[in-house]
Amino acid sequence: MKYFILFGPPGAGKGTQASAMVEKYNLRHISTGELLRKEIAAGSELGLKAKALIDAGALVPDEIVEGMIESEFKSAKDVAGFLLDGFPRNTAQAEDLDAILAKSGEEVTAVVSLMIPDEMIKERIRHRAAIEGRADDASEETINNRIATYHGKTEPLIGYYKNAVKYHEVDGTGTIDDVREKIFSLMDRF
């Protein structure tokens, strides 16, 4: 099995590129938000725990999200691997993912990191907010907070995966097709 992590700041194009990556390489796309919604809808034990926390206004703890991801790994049939999107978000989660994979003798195959400069992040998020009507992306304060959170909490994963020789950066500033070709060129090596 292959285990890819799709990484990059908000607005880098992860959502746009994920579907093509999943289709070309026969991967199961694991988005933590979608997983939570699926488990809640299914009424699973993990889903019920997550719903109670969300309804109380609390964050869903790592162990619940990780349990859902591990369950996806075990239940997937007829796929060549997985594309993790939105997980891990910090070094502790990366270490937990390594431990989950090690239980079955597996490891992260590669981190595909779509990189764009902060000004482009702002432009893309504003554009997405206008097109999709996403109020959560509309205010300058929210956009700046999302960028600061990415730099402060998620960006340290770059060093973690560089140390593990798993980190691969793709310039995300070109057209959708140009970026996709760069991603495919990289993933073809694995």
Has residue 113 been placed in a domain? yes
Look at residue 51 in the predicted model and tell me its pLDDT: 84
Three-state secondary structure string covering the chain: CEEEEEECCCCCCHHHHHHHHHHHHCEEEEEHHHHHHHHHHHCCHHHHHHHHHHHCCCCCCHHHHHHHHHHHHHHCCCCCEEEEECCCCCHHHHHHHHHHHHCCCCCCCEEEEEECCHHHHHHHHHHHHHHHCCHHHCCHHHHHHHHHHHHHHHCHHHHHHHHCCCEEEEECCCCHHHHHHHHHHHHCCC
Give the range of the structural domain holding residue 40, as residue numbers without chain letter: 2-184
CATH of the domain at 76: 3.40.50.300
Averaged pLDDT, 138-147: 80
| Domain count across the chain | 1
Is the pLDDT confidence value at 70 over 70? yes
Q: pTM to 2 decimals?
A: 0.85
Look at residue 129 in the predicted model and tell me its pLDDT: 75
Is the pLDDT confidence value at 138 over 70? no
Identify the residue with better confidence: 23 or 75: 23
Has residue 147 been placed in a domain? yes
